[in-house]
């Protein structure tokens, strides 16, 4: 995992170099000798960055090199934290000059009161020492570049006709036949096979076809597709089911499993239902879930997908004939899927590559995930027909052994894809680990979070950083690392999902670097608890995730909470840039606490699944967040926005619920690029006219209704 840590360290330096470059160029009151020292630091760190980029493509580093890499990373993080500390202290002391604060008064030690010169000399000494060790490595400098990236048009064919490409229609028909067979009693069919075989894809195809199952007289009254994962929140699963069936129950109601089971039984008692339980891992969870589904003699059907044979049998009451074993793809369909992804069609493959393709496919062992990842890697090359690319893949892969630890062998496939990621994509790739398993992730969220985290450097061609981040996203999609979920009419991917095997790979990779720490109700799932840089808290409303006081959070730059407790956390944060709060109530006191996070750039709050009467209040204290670029509360049922929001001059994206009223002077928010959702009938004429003054506006979503009268129209 050395290549991961090295690449991340290079990314950290990029962020620091931008700040140091600004300092050296600023008209700031420092001695000329100090300015020269800063320029030397920029030169030394730039050289280190080049070395790290070279090392990022080496799989096995010796212990001395790994130690040097770690020291560079920590020095860079700590230096940047020192910069922010100085900035915060100046803010709190009432900075004498706003311009100086904007340029960052670096190197003024917060605690010891060292002079600027002493701080520069201290950091310079540490950098010189590391540079001397770098020289002993004797690694040449390298430079990596990237260009504009769009979604590969071959992906459209791949996803549009996935069933035909992999021959899954035959498997779908067999599974449908198993479901149709039998009497009116509740029937459970299990789909079993190891990860990457396409169990979820098959179950989803059958689910989509379920309205056409006419073996019985009536269609299904209720349908649901649920992903439960390795450590499911049973209460949450049942609450989701009830909401799908029209109920208003939420996990926050603090009701127990027995009551939820009773409510589901009552709702389903006289209905014919079709349910898919995806990715079940153990028998005990099944025994609890099964209680919610009554055998009401109505012809109801359940599909369960699992990797574990004993679980599959248990779900079917040990009736082997109700277990559908998922098999690897046949050679014909493997070849079709592989070559279509690379060349657009099977026939377009050059003759001289057919032998190499056959060998690569043999090593992929008929696993659709492996085939997609390898073909995505080859398709990402500017000249995918060059045989040297294929030879490199062929020599890098071990054979997938279908009888012995296929999951371990799959890591070779995923590692190949990772090792050939450009260094600028690796931090973005690892960042995906903050999201829970089976989560649908919005493209816009990722793009804005990557920019806020400084994963995207300023473009030398002055391209907008969000446009560059969108290119990064498209590259990950093109390499089959991300799976498109929602694609618009322009073939742009609006949302995506991460395969659970890819997520596990990310978490394992990032653990070595301590890039992300994931905590759930069972404790620390991934990463360490020392100098946490990014923290993901994942739970439900009943099983909270308290963060022990012993865990230091001052270095956290990104915090994402998914239904998890956040009580008392905000006061322990200092350098946070990205905050995502999902399915957790935010009181006024909580919001005031958020408004003290002076480095915050991205804030998203979503709790639309909670009760409707809960009102989110965005207080006037939000004006403290002078670095805030994104405020996203669109998934809140109701919100009240301070009228002084127009004073946030740096805000670029404002995403709101429909009922929110914007201030009359919104035209002063010149940096705004996005406004969603804007209700014409709720806002004043002055506010509507103010939209015309927002010259940087790119994305405006508005709603008209009958209450928007003719007098208002005349005034505009």
pTM exceeding the 0.85 threshold for the entire prediction: no
Residue pair 565/584 in contact (Cβ under 8 Å)? The answer is: yes
Query: What SS3 class is residue 662?
Result: coil
Confidence of residue 146 (pLDDT cuts 50, 70, 90): very low
The CATH number assigned to the domain holding 630 equals: 3.80.10.10
Mark whether 279 and 362 lie in a shared domain: no
More confident call, 274 vs 128: 274
More confident call, 11 vs 692: 692
What's the domain range around 361? 344-497
DSSP string, 162-222: HHHHHTHHHHHHHHHHHHHSS-SS-EEEEEE--TTS-HHHHHHHHHHHGGG--SSSS--SE
- pLDDT of 397-425, one tens digit each? 655 544 444 555 667 767 767 777 888 89
Give pLDDT, residue 600. Answer: 94
In a domain, residue 456? The reply is yes
Mark whether 534 and 599 lie in a shared domain: yes
Boundary residue ending a domain (463, 497, 531): 497
Residue pair 554/563 in contact (Cβ under 8 Å)? The answer is: no
In a domain, residue 671? The reply is yes
The CATH number assigned to the domain holding 193 equals: 3.40.50.300
Which residue has 């904007």 as its token pair? 102
Is a pLDDT exceeding 80 seen at residue 163? no
In a domain, residue 331? The reply is no
Query: What SS3 class is residue 506?
Result: helix
Boundary residue ending a domain (497, 519, 552): 497
Q: How far apart are CA 571 and CA 555, in angstroms?
A: 13
Mean pLDDT of the chain: 78
Query: What SS3 class is residue 519?
Result: strand
Mark whether 281 and 348 lie in a shared domain: no
Mark whether 521 and 641 lie in a shared domain: yes
Which residue has 């739970």 as its token pair? 539
Q: What 8-state DSSP symbol labels residue 408?
A: H
Is a pLDDT exceeding 80 seen at residue 704? no
Mark whether 173 and 286 lie in a shared domain: yes
Mark whether 88 and 191 lie in a shared domain: no
In a domain, residue 144? The reply is no
Mark whether 94 and 48 lie in a shared domain: yes
- pLDDT of 361-406, one tens digit each? 887 878 888 888 888 888 888 788 888 888 878 776 655 544 444 5
Residue 442 phi, psi dihedral angles, 5° rounding: -80, 135
Mark whether 492 and 572 lie in a shared domain: no
Mark whether 318 and 352 lie in a shared domain: no
Q: Say how many domains are in the chain.
A: 4
- pLDDT of 623-644, one tens digit each? 999 999 999 998 887 888 888 8
In a domain, residue 153? The reply is no
Mark whether 450 and 562 lie in a shared domain: no
Mark whether 491 and 514 lie in a shared domain: no
Boundary residue ending a domain (120, 137, 154): 137
In a domain, residue 146? The reply is no
Mark whether 592 and 645 lie in a shared domain: yes
Give pLDDT, residue 130. Answer: 73
């Amino acid at each position: 995992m050395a290549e991961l840590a090295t690449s991340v360290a290079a990314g950290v330096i990029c962020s620091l170099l931008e700040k140091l470059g600004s300092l050296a160029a600023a008209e700031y009151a420092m001695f000329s000798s100090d300015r020269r020292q800063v320029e030397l630091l920029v030169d030394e760190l730039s050289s280190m960055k080049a070395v790290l980029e070279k090392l990022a493509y080496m799989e096995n580093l010796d212990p001395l090199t790994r130690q040097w890499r770690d020291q560079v990373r920590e020095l860079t993080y700590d230096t940047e934290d020192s910069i922010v500390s100085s900035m915060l202290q100046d803010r709190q002391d009432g900075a004498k000059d706003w311009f100086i604060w904007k340029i960052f008064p670096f190197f003024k030690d917060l605690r010891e009161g060292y002079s600027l010169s002493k701080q520069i000399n201290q950091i310079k000494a540490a950098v010189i020492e590391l540079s001397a060790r770098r020289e002993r490595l004797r690694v040449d400098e390298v430079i990596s570049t990237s260009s504009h990236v769009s979604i590969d048009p071959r992906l459209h064919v791949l996803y549009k006709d996935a069933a035909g490409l992999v021959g899954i229609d035959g498997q779908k028909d067999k599974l449908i036949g198993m479901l149709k067979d039998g009497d009116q009693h509740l029937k459970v069919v299990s789909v079993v096979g190891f990860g990457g075989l396409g169990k979820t894809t098959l179950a989803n195809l059958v689910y989509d076809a379920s309205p056409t199952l006419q073996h019985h007289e009536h269609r299904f009254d209720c349908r649901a597709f649920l992903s439960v994962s390795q450590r499911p929140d049973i209460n949450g699963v049942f609450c989701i089911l009830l909401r799908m069936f029209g109920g208003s129950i939420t996990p926050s109601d603090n009701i127990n499993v027995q009551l939820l089971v009773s409510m589901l039984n009552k709702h389903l008692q006289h209905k014919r239902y079709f349910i898919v339980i995806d990715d079940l891992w153990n028998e005990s969870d099944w025994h609890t879930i099964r209680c919610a589904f009554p055998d009401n003699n109505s012809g109801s059907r359940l599909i369960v997908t699992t990797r574990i044979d004993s679980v599959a049998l248990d779900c079917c009451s040990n009736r082997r004939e109700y277990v559908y074993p998922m098999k690897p793809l046949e050679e014909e369909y493997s070849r079709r899927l592989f070559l279509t992804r690379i060349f657009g069609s099977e026939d377009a493959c050059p003759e001289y590559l057919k032998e190499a393709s056959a060998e690569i496919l043999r090593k992929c062992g008929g696993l659709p995930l492996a085939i997609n990842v390898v073909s995505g890697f080859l398709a990402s090359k500017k000249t995918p027909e060059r045989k040297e690319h294929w030879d490199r893949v062929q020599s890098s892969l071990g054979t997938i052994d279908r009888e012995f630890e296929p999951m371990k062998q799959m890591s070779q496939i995923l590692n190949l894809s990772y090792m050939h990621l450009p260094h600028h994509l690796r931090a973005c790739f690892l960042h995906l680990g903050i999201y829970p398993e089976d989560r649908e992730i919005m493209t816009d969220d990722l793009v804005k979070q990557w920019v806020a985290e400084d994963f995207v450097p300023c473009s030398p061609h002055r391209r907008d950083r969000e446009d560059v981040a969108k290119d990064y996203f498209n590259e990950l999609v093109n390499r089959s690392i991300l799976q498109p979920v929602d694609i618009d009419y322009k073939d742009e991917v609006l949302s995506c999902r991460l395969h659970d095997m890819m997520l596990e790979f990310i978490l394992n990779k990032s653990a070595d670097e301590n890039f992300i720490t994931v905590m759930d109700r069972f404790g620390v799932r991934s990463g360490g608890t020392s100098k946490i840089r990014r923290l993901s808290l994942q739970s439900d409303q009943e099983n909270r995730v308290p963060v022990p006081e012993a865990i230091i959070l001052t270095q956290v730059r990104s915090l994402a909470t998914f239904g998890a407790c956040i009580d008392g956390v905000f006061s322990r944060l200092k350098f946070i840039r990205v905050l995502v709060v999902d399915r957790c109530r935010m009181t006024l006191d909580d919001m005031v606490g958020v408004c003290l996070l002076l480095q915050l750039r991205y804030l998203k709050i979503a709790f639309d699944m909670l009760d409707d009467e809960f009102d989110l209040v965005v207080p006037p204290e939000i004006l403290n967040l002078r670095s805030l670029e994104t405020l996203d509360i669109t998934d809140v049922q109701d919100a009240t926005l301070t009228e002084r929001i127009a004073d946030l001059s740096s805000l670029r994206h404002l995403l709101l619920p429909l009922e929110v009223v914007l201030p009359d002077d919104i035209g002063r928010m010149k940096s705004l690029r996005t406004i969603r959702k804007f209700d014409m009938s709720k806002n004043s004429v002055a506010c509507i006219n103010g939209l015309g003054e927002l010259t940087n506006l790119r994305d405006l979503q508005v709603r008209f209704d009958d209450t928007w009268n003719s007098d208002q129209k005349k005034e505009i």
